[in-house]
Structure 1
Amino acid sequence: MPFVGRERELLHLTALLARPPAVVLIDGEAGVGKTRLLRELAVPALAGNCHPMRFPFGPIVEALRNATLPIALNPVTGALRPLLPEFAHQLPLDPPPVQDAQVERHRLFRAVLSLLGSLAPVTLVLEDVHWIDPDTRELLAFLSRCLPDGVNLLLTYRPEDTCYPVAALRSHLPPHIRHAQISLAPLDAEETALLAKHLLTDPPDLWPLTLGVPFAIEELARMLAEGRGCGTPPAVRDAVLLKIEALPVAARRMVQAAAVLDQPASERSLVTVAGVPPEQGERGLAEAVRRGLLHQAAPGRYGLRQPLARQAVYDSITPGIRRRLHRRVETPAEPRGAVSPREEQVIKLAAQGLTNREIAESLFLSPRTVEVHVANALRKLGLTSRRQLPRSTT
């Protein structure tokens, strides 16, 4: 994917890593471009990824397996033989065993520290730290306090998915270790248009659908380039559905209610449509916001962040649940006439005589989604037929 809109962050990051030791945290929502930013770095690095299964020391092993070991190593690095059997012929012999498990653990931590020092200058990159395993978490706490000269520690994570206070690493660093946090926001409309021009010959405006998330822009552009029908790109849909499946039931119902309403709504409205008790709805809303699926679009009003995410959630709702949700919308808690921006786009095209399929192709939606938008708009405007739309939109 082309590199667009991150020049300032890249300059800042490069300057930080040029003066080790430093601890740098990079945060941002899924698909915002954290890994893409790291690919532009021109510094020696060893990279490992945390995984949802949380293997003990998994990202450290993955990173060190890519190292080229020097000839002379501190004898303590022999403690790494069980973790790095592929380097057994290069590592010193295992240190004599000790009976105390904590001493053994400290020896292993010192071995990682010593090996990193022998590889300096180097940056240890651990991605997706929101999935960090307990052993690596303890090792990071140790490393961050005693990084050798010439060694940086760089961590990426999604704030909405982490239960581990990653930023707390910075609070206990000694004065000589520099530290910083870089937060990546989505691209703005101009940057989105520039990225789309790199990906498509004659791109439409992708910002309203993607809200500047590079992963969504790239996947939508790929779908359009391949001439596939309108709808949510499969990769975007699957990422959203994985998050939905991980939610508690009440939070899932609140997200589904937001998808049906299709516009930022009050907590009361979401609870009504979701059909959950108020106290469960309150907890569910808080969890959905924490996980990054819902956000506060205006004071006291919540909705899905992206139109593509909204469509993915809506299409995933089973027909029975969908019917129940729509029945609860029949007596809306929101003011009559509060047509959402997306509904306004749809009804303007409907007023011009376009069919649902034609509107879907124009706005990159599914025909079923267009049908729902038209029905919601008619209800909110107090109309009974789409033939009345020209008078209501002129």
Structure 2
Amino acid sequence: MPFVGRERELCQLTGALARPPVVILIEGEAGVGKTRLLHELTGRSMLFGSCHPMRFPYGPVVEALREACPPKDLNPITGALRPLLPECAHLLPPAPPALQNAQVERHRLFRAVLSLLDALGPITLVVEDVHWVDQDTRELLGFLVRCLPPTVNLVLTYRGEDLRHPVAELLAHLPPRIDHAELALAPLDVEQTALLAKHLLPGAVDLWPLTCGVPSAIEELARMLADGRPPGTPPALRDTVQLKLDALPPVARRMVQAAAMLDEPAAPKALASVAGIPPEQGERGLAEALRRGLLRECTPGAYGLRQPLARQAVRESITPMVRRRLSRRIDAPTEPLGILSPREEQVIGLAADGLTNKEIAESLFLSPRTVEVHVANALRKLGLTSRRQFQRTAPHTTRRT
């Protein structure tokens, strides 16, 4: 896939790695391009290891080091790594005798990893998907960041919404001699999305509305269109969303399903009403769905799915019976919560006539984002849960053009 829209981040990353020892944290949602950014680095020795949901002890560090080619004349302590690295055990010193104390044995193992990295330097150790880090690896990383050798860098990638144990705790123990940097990768903007789509597909195809700029979603959608398939939910995204849904508590899952059935972001009370649960339970479910990264605050006080394709994936997972139940609640009248501003009246009047946000923006000389905010505010104030309910509300407002 072409490399688009990350020149600034690549420059920042290159500059930080040029001043070892440094610890770099790269945060971003699934599919936003964290791994791709790292693979764009050139002229550097890098070892890659990934954490996994099954959380194997020391898994990512073992995965990274087994690809290394140890030099000669290693510190004898590196022989402690022989049981973990059978692929290169013949290149390591003899294993030291076993110790009776498990804590002392583990400290020797940590020192062996540190010594081998030092011997391999200059090098960058990359541990990906730290949101899935196992406890043993977490403690090993905590040891490494305190005493990184002068020619060794450490890069950690993670999804902020999936992180139970903040990686920031590692930074709290950094000694003054070790610098750190933090990069947050956002989705591509509209222009960058169009440029990437142009590289992947012939002709001009607008993939922004469905993908919201997530590169992996753009690539998957482009592949479907190139194969002559209709633009549906990419299988990889559908499977990821389904796994996250299955892991949610029932109340949180119902809040996500309610959000997926709505055309616009909604207030917590409206989501709970559509989900058919008490508001206080809805608040707890919303908090969990936010923490797991399935919902986000799209505008102040209004929540929805992170991207249209994710909303589509959730909708596809809802059984017909549940979908009908949610639709009935969406169409049911609810209690108004506020008074519309003149601009909000204008916006919902045009929305009631069937205009899209883009068309409303052009008509009122606003940005589509501003229209989105006005629509969300109007839904909340009128106690509505769906854009289509504007049709029965609009006659009671003063339409302005």
TM-score (norm 2): 0.85
Gaps of 5+ in 1: 350-375, 384-391
Distance 1:186 1:233 in 2: 17
Q: Which residue of 2 aligns with 1:19?
A: 19
Shift of 1:310: 0.9
- Identify unmatched segments of 5+ residues in structure 2: 337-346, 360-385, 394-398
Structure 2 Cα separation of the partners of residues 33 and 17 of structure 1: 18
Name the stretch that deviates more: 225-234 or 149-158: 225-234
Q: Who is 1:101 aligned against?
A: 102
Structure 2 Cα separation of the partners of residues 94 and 135 of structure 1: 21
Runs of 4+ in 1 over 4 A off after TM superposition: 337-349, 376-379
1:380 to 364, 370, 390: 390
SS of residue paired to 1:148: coil
Q: Deviations over 1:145-178 (max 9, x none)?
A: 0000100000000000111111221121011111
**Alpha-carbon distance in structure 1 between the residues aligned to 2:198 and 2:352:** 24
What is the letter of the counterpart of residue 390 of structure 2? K
- Residue 23 of structure 1 aligns to a residue whose secondary structure is strand
In structure 1, how many angstroms separate the alpha carbons of the residues matched to 2:255 and 2:304?
Answer: 10
Aligned mates of 1:9, 1:202 — CA distance in 2: 29
Amino acid of the structure 1 residue aligned with 2:146: R
Q: Are 1:263 and 1:340, in contact at CA under 8 Å, matched by a contact in 2? A: no
Task: Give the whole-Å Cα distance in 2 for the aligned partners of 1:347 and 1:88.
Answer: 62
The change in CA–CA distance for 1:281 and 1:46 in structure 2 (over 3 A counts) is same
Query: What letter matches 1:381 in structure 2?
Result: Q
The whole-number CA distance in structure 1 between the counterparts of 2:131 and 2:14 is 23
**Distance change (3 Å), C-alpha of 1:16 and 1:166:** same
Instruction: Give the Cα–Cα distance (whole angstroms) in 1 for the partners of residues 25 and 333 of structure 2.
Output: 44
Residues 231-284 of structure 1: CA deviation (Å, up to 9, x unaligned): 222222222222211111111100100111121111111001101222221111
Partner of 1:191: 192
In the other structure, the counterpart of 2:49 is 48
Match of 2:321 in 1: 320
Partner of 1:288: 289
Q: 1:322 to 1:112 in 2, by over 3 A?
A: same
What is the Cα deviation at residue 343 of structure 1? 11
- CA pair 16-343 structure 1, distance change in 2 beyond 3 A: farther
SS of equivalent residue, structure 1 residue 382: helix
| C-alpha distance 257-378 of structure 1, shift in aligned 2 (>3 A) | closer
User: Partners in 2 of 1:341 and 1:241 — Cα distance?
Assistant: 32
Distance 2:165 2:65 in 1: 23
SS in 2 for 1:89: helix
Partner of residue 70, structure 2: 69
Counterpart in the other structure of 2:252: 251
Match of residue 10 from structure 1? 10
Q: Which secondary structure does the structure 2 equivalent of 1:198 belong to?
A: helix
Q: What is the CA–CA distance in structure 2 between the aligned matches of 1:323 and 1:292, rounded to whole Å?
A: 26
Whether 2:38 is the aligned partner of 1:28: answer no
User: For the structure 1 residues 169 and 77, does the alpha-carbon distance in structure 2 shift closer, same or farther, using more than 3 Å as the test?
Assistant: same
Deviation at 1:27, TM superposition (A): 0.3
Instruction: Give matches, 1:1-394, under 5 Å.
Output: 1-42=1-42, 43-333=44-334, 344=354, 379-382=389-392
* Alignment partners' CA distance in 2, 1:343 and 1:193: 30
What is the alpha-carbon distance in structure 2 between the residues aligned to residue 97 and residue 302 of structure 1? Answer: 56
Q: Secondary structure at the match of 2:14?
A: helix
Counterpart of 1:91 in structure 2: which amino acid? L
For residues 42-65 of structure 1, what are the alpha-carbon distances to aligned partners after superposition, in whole Å with 9 as ceiling and x for unaligned? 211000010000000000110001
Structure 2 counterpart of 1:259, one-letter code: A
Instruction: Tell me the distance in 2 between the aligned counterparts of 1:296 and 1:111.
Output: 45
User: Whole-Å Cα distance in 2 between the matches of residues 99 and 310 of structure 1?
Assistant: 55
- For 1:334 and 1:205, locate their aligned partners in 2 and report how far apart those are by CA, in whole Å: 38
The CA deviation string for residues 121-151 of structure 1, in whole angstroms up to 9 with x for no partner, is: 0000000000001000000000000000100
Structure 1 length as normaliser, TM-score? 0.86
2:21 counterpart letter in structure 1: P
Root-mean-square deviation (Å): 2.3
Contact 1:262/1:340, CA 8 A, preserved across alignment: no
- Contact 1:126–1:156, Cα closer than 8 Å, also in 2: yes
Question: How far off its partner does 1:230 sit?
Answer: 3.2
CA distance in 1, matches of 2:103, 2:256: 45
Q: Call closer, same or farther: CA 1:189–1:332 in 2, change over 3 Å.
A: farther
Residues in 2 aligned to 1:16 and 1:318: alpha-carbon distance in whole angstroms? 49
Whole-angstrom CA distance in 1 between matches of 2:169 and 2:328: 46
Aligned length: 358
Question: 2 CA distance for matches of 1:201 and 1:341?
Answer: 33
